[in-house]
Structure 1
Amino acid sequence: MKIKFLTLALLLAAVTVLAQQQDESMRMKPGMTEIWDPEVPIITPGTTPTDAPSDAIVLFDGVDIGREWTNADGGEPGWLVEDGCVTVKKGTGIIKTKRVFEDFQLHIEWRSPTEVVGESQGRGNSGVFLQGRYELQVLDNYNNRTYRNGQAGSLYKQHPPLVNACKGPGEWQVYDIIYTAPRFNDDGTFFTPPTVTVLHNGVLVQNNSKLRGPTEYIGIPEYTVKKHGADGIQLQDHGNPVSFRNIWIREL
Structure 2
Amino acid sequence: MKRPKPATLALFTLAMVGSSCASAQDDPKATEQWAPVPKVVAPGVKEQAPPSDAIVLFDGRDLAGWEASKDHSPARWNVHDGVVTVDKTTGNIQTRQHFRDYQLHLEWQIPKDITGEGQARGNSGVFLASTGPGDEGYEIQIMDSWENKTYVNGQAASVYKQAAPLVNAARRPGEWQSYDIVWTAPVFAADGSVKSPAYVTLFHNGVLVQNHTQLTGETFYIGKPKYKPYSDAPIKLQAHGDHSQPISFRNIWVRPLD
- TM-score when normalising by structure 2: 0.87
Q: Kindly indicate whether residue 224 of structure 2 is the aligned counterpart of residue 220 of structure 1.
A: yes
Structure 1 vs Structure 2 CA RMSD: 2.0
The answer on 1:154 being equivalent to 2:152 is no
Which residue is equivalent to 1:70?
67
Q: Which residue of 2 aligns with 1:171?
A: 175
* Count of residues paired in the alignment: 240
- Distance in 2 of aligned mates of 1:135 and 1:18: 62
Tell me the equivalent position of 2:146.
142
Distance 1:218 1:57 in 2: 34
2:216 equivalent to 1:189:
no
- Displacement of 1:17 in angstroms is 7.2
Sequence identity percentage: 50
User: What letter corresponds to residue 249 of structure 1 in structure 2?
Assistant: V
Corresponding residue for residue 108 of structure 1: 106
Greater shift, 41-50 or 115-124, is seen at 41-50
SS in 2 for 1:38: coil
Quote how far apart the aligned CAs of 1:49 are.
4.6
Match of 1:39 in 2: 37
Structure 1 CA distance for aligned equivalents of residues 93 and 216 of structure 2: 25
Displacement of 1:233 after TM fit? 0.3
Match of 2:124 among 102, 126, 132: 126
Deviation by residue 1:219-251 (Cα, 9 ceiling, x = unmatched): 01112x4x1111000000014411000000001
**Alpha-carbon deviation of 1:114?**
1.3
Alignment correspondent of 1:235: 237
Report the equivalent of 1:205. 209
3-state SS, counterpart of residue 45 of structure 2: coil
Give distance in 2, aligned partners of 1:150 and 1:113.
19
Q: The residue matched to 1:209 in structure 2 has which SS?
A: strand
Q: What's the offset of the Cα at 1:16? A: 7.4
- The structure that has the greater radius of gyration is 1
TM-superposed CA distance for 1:18, in Å, is: 6.8
Deviation at 1:177, TM superposition (A): 0.2
- The structural deviation recorded for 1:115 is 1.1
Tell me, what secondary structure is at the counterpart of 1:58? strand
- Measure, in 1, the Cα distance between the counterparts of 2:223 and 2:14: 70
1: CA distance, partners of 2:199 / 2:88: 31
| 1:3-62 CA distance string (max 9 Å, x none) | x9xxx9xxx8x9977754443224434333322111111110112451100010000000
Q: Secondary structure at the match of 2:94?
A: strand
Structure 1 residue 90, shift from structure 2 partner: 1.7
Distance in 2, Cα, partners of 1:188 & 1:16: 58
Change (3 A) 1:15 1:230: closer
Question: Structure 1: any 5+ residue segments left out of the alignment?
Answer: none
One-letter amino acid of the structure 1 residue matched with residue 34 of structure 2: W
TM-score w.r.t. the length of structure 1 is 0.89
* Corresponding residue number in structure 2 for 1:245: 250
- 2:19 aligns with 24
Gaps of 5+ in 2: 131-136
